[in-house]
Chain A
Amino acid sequence: MAWRGAIVAEPLLILDGLRKHYGGLAVTDGVSLDLRMGEIHAIIGPNGAGKTTLIHQVSGTVAPDAGRVIFGGRDITRLSFPARVRAGLARSFQITSILSGFSALENAALAAQRRHGSSFRFFRAAARDATLNTAGMAALEAVGLAERATMQAGALSHGEKRQLELALALATEPRALLLDEPLAGAGQEETARLIAILRALRDRYAILLVEHDMDAVFALADRVTVLEQGRVLATGTPAAIRADAAVRAAYLGEEEIPC
């Protein structure tokens, strides 16, 4: 896929020299990259390259030792995880994290609640709140889960749970999405469906995608950044990354890069 020339705007998200050490081990060692509106920027790398730790630092669940995270021109390095979500930086989790006891719609409606009025309302039943239900339903529709709305989330199939995970991120009405292995554990059919959903989302969001499924990465990404031992090995278009000798060397013995 060619790099679409339309992307000229300022980056929405900038990671500037992020560092994180655990003991003597540098898990993130000076990572800088950026993410623009309307693009999918994939981060790949061998196991232990520091992809998930990086996502944690961007989303605010792990504090970096050094470096900055700039979002929409604002330094959000010190913001908490929920505060970043409110600023428009939503994330999904590698291990499905949903409210199993809530229905799919209740899940999505709650995710939308932060954008639609105060949450310190104590008396009116939320289930009858049309604003919330409409917003929640829209998010479910965006991932093709509308007909499962009343089902208890814990009873959904694995693939549907992955879709709901995505819907919950969308319902927070973000500008950027941090997706941590959205295809994890999905079967072939489910993967195809999720790829189609992600592709449909691309134009409206900036998406930072961590994914192990290389076919999916090269089918979806506008740009790819390769991490190795906490450092950026290379950043470029999928074609350029495929051709990169250093990347090929790093991946020897790991997953094959499809050509």
Chain B
Amino acid sequence: MMRWSPALLLALLAAAPWLGFSGSYEFTLMARAMVLALAALSLGFLVGGAGLVSLGHAAMLGVGGYAVAILDAHGVTEALLVLPAAVAAAALFALLTGAIAIRTSGVHFIMITLAFGQMAFFTASSLAAYGGDDGYTLYARTEIAGHRLLENRLAFHYLCLALLAGAWLLLRAILASRFGRVLRATRENAQRAEAMGFAPYAYRLAAYAIAGAVAGLAGFLMANATEFVAPSAIAWQRSGELLFMVILGGVGSLPGAILGAAAFVVAEEQLATLTEHWRLIFGPLLILAVIFLPHGLAGRHRG
């Protein structure tokens, strides 16, 4: 069931525009869900695959998003340039901060990633040329080979879907590869991985950069979905939410991260219609979920 439910979810998203979910509101909501799912997927890869619990993952999203904004401000709106730049910038940021963060482990790692995330947040806030605290509005969505294809909602919808599905398959393949095996070994039993001749650092750092790259991709989509980038979108609370999505779906499972993100967006949307203080309901739900569902919604722990 769990194994196929994300495929089902992706199929539903593919069919949605033809099932009446084709209004502006629905497209916005689905884009939001897919962007967050992509970000959660990359974090799920990190947490489940490498055992690296990052509380600064939103920063990767932000670096990708700000790459789009900064290029936009300088008149560069060609996807063939912008997309690789966003992905590379996020991967590079991950590589640089990871090089220090991964020297530590456990709770140190959590705190350091949080601190680096906050550093990115404050840096974004101080970029007065790109909107500072208020954020930056794009002139237009990124163009593809000179065509303004992404202005078309349907095209953008399917681009998000394709990238999400592609990232899922890619990360799944990586986890099953030689590299992925070493990575999973360092997560399960670092001492044993060392006894097999693997120094965990390089593998963890590579995984961190890969997760950063995928989150950068999510950032690219986020910027284009809303045509807006702001520090508030990459605040540390977003990192906490991403972590919650990963846990909600069950740690160690990539499909779980996708489902968790979808469930999160739907829950948030539903609760927000009830009361402006929806976090008063959401917070306790989160706490109860952590205490009573240690293995996530999926209900079991994948080895």
Contact = CB atoms under 8 A, between A and B. Distances in A.
B178 A82 contact: no
A208 interface: no
B252 to A, nearest CB: 9
B195 A121 contact: no
B182 A93 contact: no
Contact of A99 (B176, B188, B199): B188
A113 B178 contact: yes
Interface in A59-87: 80-83, 85-86
Interface in B177-217: 177-182, 184-185, 188-189, 191-199, 203, 206
A126 B182 CA distance: 10
B179 A101 contact: no
Nearest to A84: B197
Chain B residues touching A, range: 20 to 34
A114 interface: yes
A98 B192 CA distance: 6
B173 A97 contact: no
Nearest to B301: A101
Contact of A85 (B177, B179, B188, B194): B194
B178 A98 contact: no
Given A85-B195, A168-B196, A169-B195, A110 B189 contact: no
B283 interface: no
A90 interface: yes
Interface string B92-105: 00000000000000
B181 A113 contact: yes
Interface residues of A, number: 40
A99 B206 CA distance: 21
B165 interface: no
A130 interface: no
B177 A123 contact: yes
Nearest to A118: B178
Contact of A127 (B176, B179, B206): B176
B195 A114 contact: no
Contact of B196 (A80, A111, A120, A127): A111
A152 B177 CA distance: 19
Nearest to A128: B176
13 contacts: A81-B194, A81-B195, A97-B189, A99-B189, A106-B181, A113-B196, A118-B178, A119-B179, A121-B177, A121-B178, A122-B178, A126-B180, A169-B195
Interface of A: 80-83, 85-86, 90-93, 97-102, 106, 110-111, 113-114, 117-127, 129, 132, 152, 154, 168-169, 171-172
